[in-house]
Amino acid sequence: MSTPTFEEIDQEQIQGPSILKLNDGNCIKLESVSNFRSLGGFPIGGSDGQLVVRPGVICRSASPTNATFSDEFWLLEVLNVKTLVDLRTSWENKTISPVRKFEDNFIQYSIKKEEASTSPKSGSRSPNSDKHNGNTLNTSNNSNKLNTSNNNNTLNTSNSNNNNHSNTLNTSNSNNNGYYIQPPAIFIQSPEGKQKEMEEQRNGILWRIYNRNLTPDELTKLRSHSSGALRKRYCIPLINSKFFLEGVYHSAPENTKLKCTAARYLLFNDNIGAYMLMDHLNNLGIIEMYKLTLMYTQEEILTIMRIFKNKENYPIMYFCSLGKDRTGMTTAILLSCLGVPRDIIIEDYAKSELNIAPFMEQIRRYFTRVGLSKEEFVRSHRETMAGLLTWIDEAYGSMDRYLECIGFSLEEQQELRDNLIVTKQEYDNFVNEKVNSPNLQKKHDDYIQAQKSKKPPPKLLNSPRFWRKLSFSKDLTLSPTQD
Whether 28 and 18 have beta carbons less than 8 Å apart is answered as no
The reported pLDDT for the residue numbered 245 is 83
The reported pLDDT for the residue numbered 478 is 29
Whether 256 and 276 have beta carbons less than 8 Å apart is answered as yes
> Is residue 235 helix, strand or coil?
strand
| DSSP per-residue letters across 52-68 | EEPTTSEEEES--TT--
Q: What value, to the nearest 5°, has the Cα angle with vertex 133 and ends 131 and 134?
A: 70
Residue 22 or residue 403, greater confidence:
403
Whether 96 and 206 have beta carbons less than 8 Å apart is answered as yes
Written in H, E and C, the secondary structure of 288-320 is HHHHHHHHHCHHHHHHHHHHHHCHHHCCEEEEC
> Is residue 21 helix, strand or coil?
strand
Give per-residue burial for 416-442: e unless 16+ CB within 10 Å, then b. Answer: bbebbbbebeebeeebeeeeeeeebee
Residue 81 or residue 8, greater confidence:
81
Question: In the beta sheet, which residues pair with residue 316?
Answer: 58, 83
Residue 53: pLDDT band (50, 70, 90) is very high
**What's this model's pTM, rounded to 2 decimal places?**
0.76
Q: Which of 54-63, 438-447, 472-481 has the highest mean predicted lDDT (pLDDT)?
A: 54-63
The reported pLDDT for the residue numbered 457 is 57
Mean predicted lDDT score pLDDT of the chain: 75
| DSSP per-residue letters across 175-210 | -S-B--PPPPP---SSTT-----EEEEE--HHHHHH
Residue 356 or residue 333, greater confidence:
333
Residue 37: pLDDT band (50, 70, 90) is very high
The reported pLDDT for the residue numbered 176 is 36
Tell me the C-alpha distance between 21 and 27, whole Å: 4
Residue 430 or residue 381, greater confidence:
381
The reported pLDDT for the residue numbered 213 is 60
> Is residue 477 helix, strand or coil?
strand
Read off the DSSP letter of residue 136: -
**Pairing mode of beta strands 198-202, 476-480:** antiparallel
The reported pLDDT for the residue numbered 419 is 97
The reported pLDDT for the residue numbered 221 is 77
222: pLDDT strictly greater than 80: no
The reported pLDDT for the residue numbered 465 is 57
The reported pLDDT for the residue numbered 128 is 38
Give per-residue burial for 230-266: e unless 16+ CB within 10 Å, then b. Answer: ebbbbbbbbbbbbbbbbbbbbbbbeebbeebeebbee
What is the distance, to the nearest Å, from the Cα of residue 20 to the centroid of all Cα atoms in its chain?
21
pLDDT > 90 fraction of the chain, expressed in percent and rounded? 36
Residue 214 or residue 408, greater confidence:
408
Q: Is the peptide bond before 315 cis (omega within 30 degrees of 0)?
A: yes
Closest CA to 420 of 305, 306, 309: 309
Tell me the C-alpha distance between 1 and 315, whole Å: 39
Domains and CATH numbers, the chain: 11-125+186-480 (3.90.190.10)
167: pLDDT strictly greater than 90: no
List, for residues 105-144, the tens digit of each pLDDT value. 888 888 887 654 333 343 433 333 333 333 333 333 333 3
3-state SS of the chain: helix, strand, coil percent to 5?
A: 45, 10, 45
Closest CA to 402 of 197, 115, 186, 232: 186
Tell me the C-alpha distance between 182 and 77, whole Å: 47
Question: In the beta sheet, which residues pair with residue 60?
Answer: 37, 318
Question: In the beta sheet, which residues pair with residue 30?
Answer: 18
By CB atoms closer than 10 A (0-12, 13-18, 19+), residue 404 is buried
| Range of weakest confidence among 142-156, 415-429, 436-450 | 142-156
Q: How many CB atoms lie within 10 A of CB 217?
A: 8
Residue 26 or residue 354, greater confidence:
354
List, for residues 401-439, the tens digit of each pLDDT value. 999 999 999 999 999 999 999 999 998 888 776 445 567
376: pLDDT strictly greater than 90: yes
Residue 100 or residue 363, greater confidence:
363
Closest CA to 378 of 391, 365, 389: 365
List, for residues 260-297, the tens digit of each pLDDT value. 888 877 877 777 888 888 899 999 999 999 999 999 99
By CB atoms closer than 10 A (0-12, 13-18, 19+), residue 129 is middle
**Pairing mode of beta strands 232-235, 107-111:** parallel
Q: Which long-range contacts (CB under 8 A, 24 or more apart) does 30-33 make?
A: 30/67, 30/70, 30/71, 30/74, 30/75, 31/67, 31/68, 31/70, 31/71, 32/66, 32/67, 32/68, 32/71, 33/61, 33/62, 33/64, 33/67, 33/71, 33/75
